[in-house]
Amino acid sequence: MIKNWGRKESQLLQRTRILDFCEATDVSPYTAKEHRFVFIDSLKWVNLVPITEQGEIVMIRQYRHGSQRVTLEIPGGMVDAGEHPEKAAVRECHEETGYVVTKPYSLGELNPNPALFNNSLHTFYGYVREFKPIVNYSETEKTEVELVPICDLKSLLLDSTIDHALVCATLWRFLDGWRQDQLMAAR
């Protein structure tokens, strides 16, 4: 049977604006030996699938510095300290798109990369209730809104137009649930 390891200690190696790089000493439950591992300490993240009355998903195009290219994504970001994930999802959606979702529904929680990250991704969908124009004051993040029909999502995922792994996971969860919702409504 696989067992959890014990954490003896951890230390900060490098603090950054967004995440911290850490090293831990963990104890094997099988041998009682200590081993050192690195991990990334980060706040929780959120993704939100905003749905318009016309059956479109509010998406954004933005430049990503890691991949050095423009991506097509759903709104998302980090949960501020003390903030509930639902509130963060609504906030991120409005900040990035101008669209307001008042009631997010959970699609579940994911572990972005358990080998390295200690955080979680909270996934949601919700219906757009209004549009409140925003002024983007960020010098480092610019977004362009794109409305994508729900029926186009699968092909955009399969042809890698949408290739951000966490966005893909959220959208596949949404599509699976959406099909179930549509079937239930047809009964």
With contact defined as beta carbons under 8 Å apart, do 21 and 117 qualify?
Answer: no
Q: Is residue 18 part of a domain?
A: yes
Range of the domain at 14: 6-42
pLDDT score for 186: 41
Q: Is residue 103 part of a domain?
A: yes
Residue of 171, 142, 128 lying closest to 65 (CA atoms): 142
Q: Which token pair is 90?
A: 């609504």
State the average pLDDT over residues 152-166.
97
Mean pLDDT of the chain: 93
pLDDT beyond 60 at 146:
yes
- What is the rounded CA–CA span in Å between residue 104 and residue 90? 7
Shared domain check, 53 and 27? no
Model confidence band, residue 113 (pLDDT cutoffs 50, 70, 90): very high
pLDDT score for 133: 85
Number of structural domains (the chain) is 2
Q: Which token pair is 19?
A: 């995440």
Shared domain check, 131 and 161? yes
CATH number of 107's domain: 3.90.79.10
pLDDT beyond 70 at 97:
yes
Model confidence band, residue 29 (pLDDT cutoffs 50, 70, 90): very high
A 10 A CB-CB count for 146 gives: 14
pLDDT beyond 90 at 122:
yes
Which residues, in sequence order, are CB contacts of 68 under 8 Å at separation 6+? none
pLDDT beyond 50 at 183:
no
pLDDT digits (tens, 9 = 90+) for 37-73: 999 999 999 999 999 999 999 999 999 999 999 999 9
With contact defined as beta carbons under 8 Å apart, do 108 and 171 qualify?
Answer: no
Q: Provide the H-helix boundaries in 68-164.
A: 85-97, 150-158
Q: Tell me the residue type at 55.
A: G
pLDDT score for 182: 56
Shared domain check, 15 and 86? no
Shared domain check, 67 and 143? yes
pLDDT beyond 90 at 185:
no
- What is the rounded CA–CA span in Å between residue 24 and residue 6? 10
Q: Is residue 1 part of a domain?
A: no
> What percent of the chain is modeled with pLDDT above 70?
94
Q: Which token pair is 59?
A: 């998406």
State the average pLDDT over residues 19-38.
98
* Angle value at C-alpha 158, between 173 and 43, nearest 5 degrees: 45
Q: Is residue 74 part of a domain?
A: yes
- What is the rounded CA–CA span in Å between residue 68 and residue 55? 31
Strand segments (E) across 28-169: 34-42, 45-51, 56-64, 69-73, 76-78, 99-101, 105-110, 121-131, 144-149
pLDDT score for 106: 95
Q: Which token pair is 149?
A: 């029909």
